[in-house]
């Protein structure tokens, strides 16, 4: 975010609505961070972002945990194939 822009609740809601309208509700941000975590190469650290996103979510057990692990593996495979 621009340094001279104050991160007000109204601005946060406008950004959430913009994402929903232009990308979809699946991408709606739940919280905002000050700086994007970066790797030494300058690329966005997706693993750190995922950790931040999962922070505060309940721990899954049994079948739910297996399903989440499968989804994460599929996401990584997809990114390796289509986004690199």
* Chain segment 39-62, per-residue pLDDT in tens: 999 999 999 988 887 776 677 788
Q: What is the pLDDT of residue 56?
A: 65
What is the CA angle 78-56-17, rounded to 5?
A: 65
Beta partners for 44?
38
Q: Which residues of the chain have pLDDT under 50?
A: none
Kindly list the domain boundaries of the chain, sorted by start residue: 1-32, 37-84
Q: What is the pLDDT of residue 22?
A: 92
Alpha helix stretches (DSSP H) within 1-84: 9-22, 46-54, 62-82
Q: What is the pLDDT of residue 18?
A: 92
Instruction: Report how far residue 39's alpha carbon sits from residue 28's, in angstroms, rounded to the nearest whole number.
Output: 24
Q: Give me the percent of the chain exceeding a pLDDT of 70.
A: 93
């Amino acid at each position: 975010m621009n340094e001279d822009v104050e991160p007000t609740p109204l601005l946060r809601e406008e950004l959430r609505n913009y994402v929903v309208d232009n990308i979809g509700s699946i991408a709606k941000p739940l919280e905002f961070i000050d700086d994007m975590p970066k790797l030494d190469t300058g690329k966005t650290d997706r693993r750190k972002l995922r950790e931040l996103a999962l922070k505060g979510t309940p721990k899954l057990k049994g079948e739910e945990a297996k399903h989440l692990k499968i989804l994460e593996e599929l996401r990584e495979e997809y990114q390796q194939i289509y986004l690199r």
